[in-house]
Amino acid sequence: MKTRKLGRTTLEVPPIMLGGNVYGWTLGEAESLRQLDQAFEAGLNFIDTADVYSRWVPGHVGGESETILGKWFAGSGKRTGVVLATKVGMDMGEGRAGLAADYIVRAVEDSLRRLQTDYIDLYQSHKDDEKTPLDETLGAYQKLIEQGKVRYVGASNYSGARLREAMEAGKQAGAASYVTLQPLYNLMERAGYETDMAPVVAEYGLSVVPYFSLAAGFLTGKYRKPEDAAGKARGGMVGKYIDDRGFRVLAALDDVAGRVGATPASVALAWLIAKPAVTPIASATSAAQLKDLIAAADLTLDAAAMAQLDAASGTA
């Protein structure tokens, strides 16, 4: 599998980032461990998780995904061959949330313990914390970098304006600087990123690792009428896409997929990979879905296919 340099880092990563949000949620521990082995063997060694995954599941407290990854690292011995990304900042209960320096120091230790590692390649602010000064957050990250516990830091769910403020704050304070942005971006969700964040990304030379790259599964083509989403784990998320525009996008994906001999999911991911500095995150809950991710990493769409998909999806 080909690799690319991740923004202003020394990290070489594949064109796809494997989403770990499903580990311990829609994918059990044994299945998760098998998938991690299969992904690694295929060269898919760039993995994203977060401390909060999967606290939303009844009976879960957060950290379930990191814990499974930690078991895999301990059992496989493959930690040094993986580019590992996790996040901090979402509500973990009992007042554990945000990006204050003292909380980051505690949260990173919890993540390192669950992950059974002594360093994190990419530590990301899961969402903006407007109550905490940006230089305080970035200063805390700088100390973690100096201690060797974190290699690089990234931002997620920041507006373009706040991302620019953060980049300038880090520069002025001589503190850590974000090297990646993790926004919502896919064929169904384009305007927010392309109009607000992309100019800042280009200005500061950041890499982009968008989440929900397959629009919560809609772009796989398995949700084509409301009843397809009924009762599914992400059914409520995809319902808003089942309309005329969504049907246009699926039709374009079907057409391109037929021409290039790929699945709609692989094509949707390849569209993102072709965008400047973008390495999409996608998760899989079956061997077939993982195969689609691996195939997308080596799929190059021609100009006609890109134009067709751009036209069908518009800028919404």
The pair phi, psi for residue 182, each rounded to 5°, is -115, 95
Q: How many CB atoms lie within 10 A of CB 247?
A: 14
How far, in Å, CA of 111 to CA of 116, rounded? Answer: 8
53 in active site: yes
Q: Calculate the dihedral angle through the C-alpha atoms of 94, 98, 102, 104, rounding to the nearest 10 degrees.
A: 100
Can you point out the beta strands (E) in the chain?
4-5, 12-13, 17-19, 46-48, 83-88, 120-125, 150-156, 178-182, 207-208, 281-282
**CA distance readout (Å), 206 to 47, 56, 142:** 18, 30, 18
**CA distance readout (Å), 105 to 2, 85, 98, 112:** 35, 17, 12, 11
Can you point out the beta strands (E) in 26-162?
46-48, 83-88, 120-125, 150-156
* Token pair of 278 as six digits: 């973008």
Among candidate residues 23, 53, 178, 223, the one labeled active-site is: 53
Close Cβ partners of 303 (under 8 Å, ≥ 6 residues apart) = none
**CA distance readout (Å), 262 to 17, 234, 254, 269, 299:** 19, 24, 9, 11, 8
**CA distance readout (Å), 162 to 38, 129, 169:** 38, 10, 10
Q: At what angle do helices 303-313 and 264-273 cross, to 10 degrees?
A: 100
| Residues marked as catalytic | 53
